[in-house]
Amino acid sequence: MAWKQNIIEDFKQLVSFDSISFHERKTADWLLARLKSMGFSVEEDQAGAYYGGDTGNIFAVLDGELEGELEGDPVIFCAHMDVVDPGSGKKSVLEKDGTIHSAGDTVLGADDISGILEILYGVQLVLDSGKPHKKIEILFTIGEELYVKGSDVFDYSKVTAKQAYVLDLSGAVGTAARRAPSIISVRAEIKGKAAHAGFEPENGIHAIFAAANAVSRLCMGHVDEETTFNIGTIQGGTVTNIVPDCCVLTGEIRSYDHGKALETVCMTERIFTEEAQKINATAEVTSQIHLTAYETPLESKSVTDFQKACEILGFSGELTGTFGGSDNNSFAKNGIEGLVLSNGMYNAHSTREYTTVDDLYKGAELIGQLILL
């Protein structure tokens, strides 16, 4: 069972690499060498150059060994190479109970190093078993933490699989999310008129006043059971004795229903425009769609194979939804049905992030079983 010690050592090594979004070079070089040593044909695209980074997406293919009716459908596995801040100078600490956490001043990077290694070791378990397998494709992406930037520009004509598994979900191995939301950012800029607040306030047009009235009319938090809305930043004014002539607000909309997300954008624009017009100010509301909602059907092969693999291994096989985005949004947009698998990361995006040795083992076993179905 040497692989169980090896996966721990590889985890420690990958954690030690600085791999902030668009600067994933060390991780990518390690992966390129490992994939080639496993027999994959490997290529790196130009996504890094597109974004001004130093690394591209890595796409790897291992041809299947099955023939005829037994050939099976190709499968693609995906995880991302970047980590969030504070993610430089990471150090892992392995406790006696199998918990792995950071030294406390950075994230650990289990998001998504756990996913990367569970894919690699899952494939290796199949290769070591000597059992014939179907065609395997792997995509390791850049810039996922910045609204899936890497997978958004990947060339999906290279992918033959119609069945995807993205390892990027918090929680114990054996759970998978089959739906995720649209995520849209909004920006509202109110323009008024500056005037001295002590001598002639009546000659000014108070941009913050209009913005505040607009915000008071917006439904924050849960708009409904499928949709959330939040205004997260507000900036306006220059000094205390000048009527502010500008106020800029930014926010985010998430919804399992893309149509509802767009309706919330329209509502936001209408309310800001109305409140600005009441005091002869102007309002400009812009938005950007980062991710589009999807829901993978229960009858899809990715779902049925996942549940079958979990049954064989004695895992829960629970299906859920996530209100976060992942590279699976990009797969879905390109006609590839998939699931986001829990890969045993906990408290992600914080210095309290951790994983467990047991989750790493189970994640690899699950990937191996999915390949053999």
Q: Which of 44, 45, 82, 152 is catalytic?
A: 82
CB count within 10 Å of CB 343 equals 32
Q: What is the spatial distance between Cα 273 and Cα 280, in angstroms, rounded to a whole number?
A: 10
Tell me whether strands 175-180 and 318-321 are parallel, antiparallel or unpaired.
parallel
Tokens for 42, please give them.
């490997």
Residue 78 has phi, psi (to 5 degrees) of: -145, 140
Q: Which of 144, 275, 305, 365 is catalytic?
A: 144
137 and 74 in contact (C-beta within 8 Å)?
Answer: yes
CB count within 10 Å of CB 81 equals 29
> Would you put residue 202 in left (φ > 0), alpha (ψ -120 to 50) or beta?
alpha
Is residue 144 annotated as a catalytic residue, yes or no? yes
* Closest by Cα among 43, 19, 63, 288 to 154: 43
Active site residues: 82, 144
